[in-house]
C-alpha cells in the first residue's frame, strides 16, 4: 500500500498544472515552468485545488510508480512556488571557491584549480568570510538538478574520515575515525 501515493497534492494559488495526452505533467508557477513525463499506467487528475494520482492495479510495479510520481510532481509544485537551496562547505587549509556568473573556480588542494560550469537554471553564490570555511550556495527550482550538481561538486574532493577535509554539505555529520595509535 503506497501511503505517499494516496496523499493528494495541494495546488497553491498562482500555480497551474496541465496534464498532456502524452503523459507529461507541466507545472507553471511564479518562479517558472517544470515538466515531468510519467508512466502511461499512472493517471493524474485534478479535483478542485488538489491533484490526485491513481494506479490501475496493486502490482508491485504500479505501487512503486504510484509513490514515485506523486513525490516527483510534489517536488515540481514546491520548486515553482518556493524553490530549492543547497549549500556546500569547503573544509581544509587553502581550500577556496569563487564564481563569475555560473562558472566556479575551486582550489581544493590539487596542483591545479578546478573550473566547474554550473547549468544556467541554477543560481550560484560563493561566500568567503574570515575565520570560516568557504560556502557554495546553489539555488533553483529543479530539485533533481540541484542535487545532481551538488553531488558532482562534492565528488571533486569527498570529505575524508580522519581530519574531515573536503567538500561537504552544510549540516552533514561525518563519521570520524581515530588516527594512528601512539608508538612506544
- pLDDT, tens digit, 9 for 90 and up, residues 19-53: 988 889 999 999 999 999 999 999 999 998 999 99
Decide which of 2.60.40.1120, 2.60.120.200, 3.50.50.60, 3.90.930.12 is the CATH code for 84-169: 3.90.930.12
| Nearby residues of 141 by Cβ (< 8 Å), 6 or more positions away | 31, 32, 34, 79, 80, 83, 84, 121
Query: Is the predicted pLDDT of residue 132 greater than 60, yes or no?
Result: yes
Other beta carbons within 10 angstroms of residue 64's beta carbon come to 14
3-81, CATH topology level: Outer Surface Protein A; domain 3 (3.90.930)
List where CATH 3.90.930.12 sits in the chain. Answer: 3-81, 84-169
- Among the residue ranges 97-106, 111-120, 152-161, 174-183, the one predicted with the least confidence is 174-183
% of the chain exceeding 90 in pLDDT: 82
pLDDT over 70 at 16, yes or no: yes
Mean pLDDT of the 104-123 span: 94
| Helical spans, DSSP H, in the chain | 3-6, 60-81, 143-155
Q: Can you tell me the distance from the alpha carbon of 70 to that of 9, in angstroms, rounded to the nearest whole number?
A: 8
Q: Please check the confidence at residue 99 and state whether its pLDDT lies above 90.
A: yes
Cα gap 44→27, rounded to integer Å: 13
CB 24 within 8 A of CB 37: yes
Amino acid at each position: 500500500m503506497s501511503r505517499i501515493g494516496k496523499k493528494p497534492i495541494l495546488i497553491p494559488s498562482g500555480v497551474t498544472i496541465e496534464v498532456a495526452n502524452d503523459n507529461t505533467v507541466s507545472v507553471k508557477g511564479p518562479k517558472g515552468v517544470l515538466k515531468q513525463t510519467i508512466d502511461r499506467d499512472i493517471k493524474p487528475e485534478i479535483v478542485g485545488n488538489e491533484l490526485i494520482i491513481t494506479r490501475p492495479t496493486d502490482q508491485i510495479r504500479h505501487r512503486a510508480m504510484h509513490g514515485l510520481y506523486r513525490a516527483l510532481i510534489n517536488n515540481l509544485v514546491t520548486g515553482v512556488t518556493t524553490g530549492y537551496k543547497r549549500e556546500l562547505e569547503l573544509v581544509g587549509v587553502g581550500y577556496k571557491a569563487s564564481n563569475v556568473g555560473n562558472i566556479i573556480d575551486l582550489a581544493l588542494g590539487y596542483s591545479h584549480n578546478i573550473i566547474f560550469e554550473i547549468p544556467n537554471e541554477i543560481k550560484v553564490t560563493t561566500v568567503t568570510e574570515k575565520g570560516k570555511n568557504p560556502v557554495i550556495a546553489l539555488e533553483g527550482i529543479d530539485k533533481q538538478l540541484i542535487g545532481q550538481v551538488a553531488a558532482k561538486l562534492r565528488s571533486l574532493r569527498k570529505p575524508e574520515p580522519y581530519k574531515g577535509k573536503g567538500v561537504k554539505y552544510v549540516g552533514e555529520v561525518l563519521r570520524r575515525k581515530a588516527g594512528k595509535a601512539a608508538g612506544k
